Structure formats: structure tokens, C-alpha cells
């Protein structure tokens, strides 16, 4: 079992090293390249969701609504506003930091389970670790993109990173609940060592929707 886990971790690292630079390049380029990537992501997500829930009509409808909302939010964050690159890079860093922090803290500290009936491997230490790393990562992006003199409310910047980290983890739990409901281990196998695409961007999907809704609620320019 230990050898299997070691091989899985190595495969995950290799996949991340290969895919992350390509994804970041498309994000920085934006435009048609980004829109084509988003369209491909949408098709894969629809396929994986349909495969998970089968022919259950209402679950298919729920998936269609959720995926559509997430895809629109992801597109809008990068392409639908003047600060798109900043918005999307900030959110990517927050979500990735949440995943990394959750994994590292959960593996090294362990402790009480966060939601054992939904996702047995998640711990409270991982939950808190993900939040801490997300807050640091999000703040670092703001400092990189902005003039320090323009950052008037440090607490607000950190609070937003914390909030999106929590939403990201809730999105992860939501997908875990769906997989548990239908007896599925992974949403797919398109990413070696990681499972399906849904498994990897479930947090980004939820956080993107929340970010767009919050930005609209405050009238834009949330960060």
C-alpha cells in the first residue's frame, strides 16, 4: 500500500509539472487560446458528470446548471473584465494553495476528520492548512500585481483569500458527496495520478462562481 501511494504521488507530481506550465501559459495569453481551453474543459466536465450520475434526469439537469455557471464564471473572470488576468491568477493561486496546504497539513499532522461520511481522507488540520496557505498565496498575488500604497485594507485582502479557500473546499466536498452518492471513486481518468478533470477543478468551479457573485454584489473591483 505504501509503495502504491508513493507511485501515485510521483505520478501526480509529474502530471502537475507537465500540465501546470501549459495551463498558466494559456491563462496569461488569454483570448482565443483561453476560450478554446475553457470550451474543452466544459465538454470534459459534461462527459464526466453524465458518466457519474448515469441517466438520472434531475441530476443531469443539476450538473448542466452547475457546470454552465462555473464555466461562465471562469470565462468572465479572465476575459469579461479589464483586470481579468489579475482576477484569474489570484483565484488560481488561492485554489492551488488550498489544495497544496490541505494535502501537506493533512498528511503531516492528520488528526480529526473533517467530514468522514463524505470524504474520509480530509482532516481539520488539512482544512486549516489550506486556508492559511491560500491567505498567504492570495496576498502575495495582490502584492505582486498592485502598488503597495494602493492596498489600504490588509485584513480585507486576507479575508477574501480565506473565504475563497473555504468555498473551494466546499466545492471539493460537494463533488465528493456526488461521487459517494453514485459509488464512484474518481470522476474520470484523464489526468494520470489525479483522476478526472472534475476531481481537479471542483474547488475552482465553486470559487469562480462565488467570486463572480460577490464581485457583482459589491459592484465590481472586489480586490
Per-position pLDDT tens, the chain of length 223: 444 455 556 656 676 677 788 888 999 999 999 999 999 999 999 999 999 998 889 999 999 999 999 999 999 999 988 888 988 999 999 999 999 999 899 989 989 999 988 988 899 999 999 999 999 999 999 888 776 545 557 788 889 999 999 999 999 999 999 999 998 887 876 665 556 888 889 999 999 999 999 988 876 666 5
Integer Cα distance of 83 and 166 in angstroms: 23
**Are 76 and 101 in contact, with CB atoms under 8 Å apart?**
no
Full residue range of the structural domain in which residue 148 is found:
2-218
Q: Establish how many alpha carbons lie within 13 A of residue 23's alpha carbon, considering only the half-sphere containing its beta carbon.
A: 16
Predicted structure pTM score: 0.87
Domain count, the chain: 1
Q: Does the residue 181 lie in any domain?
A: yes
Which single residue is written with the C-alpha cell 491567505? 135
Q: Is 223 inside a domain boundary?
A: no
> How far apart, in whole angstroms, are the C-alpha atoms of residue 156 and residue 139?
10
Q: Which residues contact 41 (CB under 8 A, 6 or more apart)?
A: 71, 74, 197, 201
CA distance 212 to 62: 19
Amino acid at each position: 500500500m505504501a509503495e502504491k501511494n508513493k507511485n501515485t504521488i510521483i505520478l501526480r507530481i509529474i502530471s502537475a509539472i507537465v500540465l501546470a506550465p501549459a495551463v498558466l501559459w494559456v491563462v496569461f495569453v488569454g483570448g482565443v487560446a483561453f476560450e478554446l481551453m475553457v470550451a474543452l474543459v466544459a465538454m470534459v466536465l459534461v462527459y464526466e458528470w453524465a458518466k457519474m450520475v448515469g441517466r438520472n434526469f434531475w441530476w443531469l439537469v443539476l450538473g448542466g446548471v452547475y457546470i454552465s455557471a462555473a464555466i461562465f464564471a471562469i470565462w468572465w473572470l479572465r476575459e469579461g473584465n479589464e483586470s481579468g488576468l489579475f482576477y484569474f491568477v489570484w483565484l488560481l493561486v488561492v485554489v492551488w494553495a488550498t489544495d497544496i496546504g490541505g494535502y501537506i497539513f493533512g498528511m503531516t499532522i492528520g488528526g480529526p476528520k473533517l467530514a468522514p461520511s463524505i470524504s474520509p481522507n480530509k482532516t481539520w488540520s488539512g482544512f486549516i492548512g489550506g486556508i492559511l496557505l491560500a491567505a498567504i498565496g492570495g496576498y502575495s498575488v495582490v502584492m505582486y500585481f498592485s502598488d503597495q500604497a494602493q492596498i489600504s485594507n490588509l485584513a480585507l485582502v486576507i479575508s477574501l483569500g480565506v473565504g475563497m479557500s473555504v468555498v473551494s473546499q466546499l466545492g471539493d466536498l460537494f463533488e465528493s458527496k456526488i461521487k459517494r452518492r453514485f459509488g464512484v471513486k474518481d470522476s474520470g481518468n484523464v489526468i494520470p495520478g489525479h483522476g478526472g478533470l472534475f476531481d481537479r477543478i471542483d474547488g475552482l468551479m465553486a470559487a469562480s462562481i462565488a467570486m463572480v457573485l460577490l464581485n457583482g454584489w459589491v459592484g465590481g473591483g472586489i480586490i
